[in-house]
């Protein structure tokens, strides 16, 4: 089976253990016994992701002092009830538990079952570093988690099960899990020495036992090439052209540009691959550290607005990459466009690094670094001239054209081939004229441009001697199209006021509904698309 379905079982704490047993076919009492076998009475145990508390209660019955953590309040409530009913002493707490920093070096054991597969890779790396600090000298970490089976038969059964259970889980919870891959390498990078690794039948579970190494292992950060050749141009061109179609993330972590020493500047950016390429290009020939944050493959401006480029994410990446061991200073240069989502004081509180605000554009980084982190007025300004709008508008229009273009090819009998051209015109119209319109309100911009597009469509159909009803329906549809495109384009601009946009969107939705109702309310014609 796939343990992805446990995200649904978590909603029913009383049925969690039974559900996991039925779905997995695993002998979980035997697995728990493997975890318990080395724990002695009086030892302190930290359990990450305790669920309904079954393992925590068994540890307490054997005389261990247990602190059990979970992110699910329902699970914790149920687990506390089970502990009270059993008459055992277990301390339960909610994740994330940042106050655990005061318990550094206090635990003999840290155990986690089916927990690490719920975490993003960068979070796993940070958690492993964090847990290492909580273990006593000679303490041990035990992890039991999901892996992809290696045998062909088990692999197929696993993939089919995961596809089905994954779909059900996503539809009900919008969450997923990630089977661990090369987890032993992650343990080694975090400074652990692996004592035991055992695959449990039927092959989709694995147990690791590890302890902090005698020496604090520090794997060298990867080097980003300082050169910029034809392959870089080709890759960046493809990334730019497909930027509204595909997300191509860069692996988060700490990277070296050139040969940076402990005093070299530390800069942060998103893991949008095109952004990383541009930063690397403009820092060619210099020595610097680059902290790439996991923004799910989204650029700095948008990810900060979405909350994925945040003080918490920055602190997480700093911890996971152990940046404090490579740089002697405690200064981190942030791109100015992240300020809509990053609190500088919170960065300091969470990571110990003082956040400096760099220029808006990567091309200004060399001058900024050469002048001791001093910005000129030009470096502070966000430009949105014609070429900036084309930088956004061309990929944006490509996305608009692609969908109706594919529909026109497949459904040519019902959809006229000119439909993609109207979408292209709608996209380029807002990109070209965005700053020329005498208003900051996207609703007004959309209505002005929509009226122009509708008028152009009306004149064209009148010249084609189309019936009046067809002209009216077409004009209503073109006005709705441009209004929708303008609203969508607002998210790609650096001049949007989030509060104002949210207010405007309510009116945009109302007007769109009215126009669509008007389109279908008019006497229908034989053709679905009137032009």
The DSSP code sequence of 276-300 is HHHHHHHTTTS-EEEEEE--TT--H
Residue 163's closest CA among 150, 176, 154, 174?
Answer: 176
How far is residue 378's CA from residue 465's CA, in Å, rounded to a whole number?
Answer: 54
Ordered mean pLDDT values, 10 residues apiece, the chain (531 residues): 50 66 67 86 92 91 92 88 91 74 81 88 88 90 86 73 64 66 87 88 84 72 78 86 82 92 95 92 92 92 87 91 91 92 92 94 93 89 81 80 62 57 80 81 86 88 82 85 82 64 80 85 54 44
Q: pLDDT at position 108, please?
A: 94
> What pairing do the DSSP bridges indicate for beta strands 205-212 and 192-200?
antiparallel
Contacts of 90 (CB under 8 A, 6+ apart): 53, 56, 57, 59, 60, 66, 68, 79, 83
Token readout for 219 is 């794997």
| Tally of CB atoms within 10 A around 193 | 13
Q: pLDDT at position 383, please?
A: 79
List C-alpha distances in Å: 26 to 21, 42, 201, 208. 6, 30, 8, 17
Residue 269's closest CA among 240, 289, 286?
Answer: 289
Token readout for 401 is 């054209």
Tokens 């039974």 identify what position? 18
Half-sphere exposure of 216 (CA within 13 A, CB side): 7
How far is residue 421's CA from residue 69's CA, in Å, rounded to a whole number?
Answer: 56
What does 340-376 look like in DSSP terms, one character per residue?
TT--HHHHHHHHSPEEEE--SSGGGHHHHHHTTTPPP
CB 134 within 8 A of CB 106: yes
How far is residue 425's CA from residue 519's CA, in Å, rounded to a whole number?
Answer: 20
Contacts of 178 (CB under 8 A, 6+ apart): 117, 118, 119, 120, 121
The domains located in the chain, with CATH, are 3-212 (3.40.50.150), 224-380 (3.40.50.11600), 386-521 (no CATH)
> Could you tell me how many residues make up the chain?
531
Provide the CA 302 distance to its chain's centre, in angstroms.
12
pTM for this one?
0.76
């Amino acid at each position: 089976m796939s343990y992805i379905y446990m995200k649904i079982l978590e909603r029913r704490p009383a049925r969690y253990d039974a559900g996991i047993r039925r779905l997995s076919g695993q002998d979980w009492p035997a697995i728990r016994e493997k975890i318990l076998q080395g724990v002695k009475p009086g030892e302190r145990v930290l359990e990450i992701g305790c669920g309904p508390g079954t393992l925590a209660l068994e540890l307490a019955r054997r005389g261990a002092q247990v602190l059990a953590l979970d992110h699910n309040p329902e699970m914790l409530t149920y687990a506390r009830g089970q502990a009270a009913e059993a008459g055992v002493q277990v301390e339960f707490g909610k994740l994330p538990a940042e106050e655990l920093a005061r318990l550094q070096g206090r635990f003999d054991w840290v155990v986690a079952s089916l927990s690490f597969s719920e975490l993003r890779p960068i979070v796993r790396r940070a958690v492993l570093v964090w847990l290492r600090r909580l273990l006593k000298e000679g303490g041990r970490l035990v992890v039991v988690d999901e892996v992809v089976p290696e045998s062909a038969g088990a692999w197929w059964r696993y993939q089919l099960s995961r596809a089905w259970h994954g779909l059900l889980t996503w539809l009900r919870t919008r969450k997923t899990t990630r089977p661990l891959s090369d987890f032993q390498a992650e343990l080694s990078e975090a400074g652990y020495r692996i004592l035991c690794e055992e695959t449990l039948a039927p092959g989709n579970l694995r147990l690791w036992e590890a302890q902090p190494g005698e020496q604090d292992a520090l794997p060298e950060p990867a080097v980003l090439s300082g050169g910029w050749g034809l392959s870089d141009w080709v890759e960046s061109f493809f990334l730019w052209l497909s930027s509204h179609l595909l997300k191509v993330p860069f692996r988060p972590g700490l990277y070296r540009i050139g040969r940076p020493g402990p005093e070299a500047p530390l800069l942060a950016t998103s893991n949008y691959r095109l952004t990383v390429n541009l930063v690397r290009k403009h820092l060619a020939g210099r020595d610097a550290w680059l902290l790439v944050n996991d923004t799910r493959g989204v650029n700095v401006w948008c990810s900060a607005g979405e909350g994925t480029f945040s003080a918490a994410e920055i602190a997480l990446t700093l911890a996971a990459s152990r940046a404090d061991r490579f740089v002697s200073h405690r200064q981190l240069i942030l791109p100015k466009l992240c300020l809509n989502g990053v609190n500088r004081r919170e960065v300091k509180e969470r990571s110990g690094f003082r956040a400096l605000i760099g220029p808006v554009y990567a091309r200004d980084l060399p001058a900024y670094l050469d002048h001791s982190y001093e910005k000129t007025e030009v470096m502070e300004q966000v430009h949105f001239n014609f070429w900036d709008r084309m930088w956004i508008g061309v990929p944006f229009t490509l996305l608009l054209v692609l969908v109706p273009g594919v529909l026109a090819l497949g459904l040519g009998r019902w959809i006229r081939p000119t439909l993609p051209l109207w979408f292209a015109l709608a996209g380029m119209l807002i990109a070209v004229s965005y700053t020329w319109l005498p208003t900051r309100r996207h609703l007004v911009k959309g209505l002005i441009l929509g009226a122009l597009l509708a008028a152009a469509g009306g004149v064209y159909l009148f010249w084609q001697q189309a019936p009046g009803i067809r002209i009216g329906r077409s004009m209503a549809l073109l006005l709705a199209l441009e209004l929708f495109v303008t609203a969508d384009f607002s998210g790609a601009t650096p001049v949007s006021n989030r509060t104002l946009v949210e207010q405007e969107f309510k009116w945009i939705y109302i007007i769109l509904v009215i126009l669509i109702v008007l389109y279908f309310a008019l006497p229908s014609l034989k053709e679905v698309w009137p032009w």
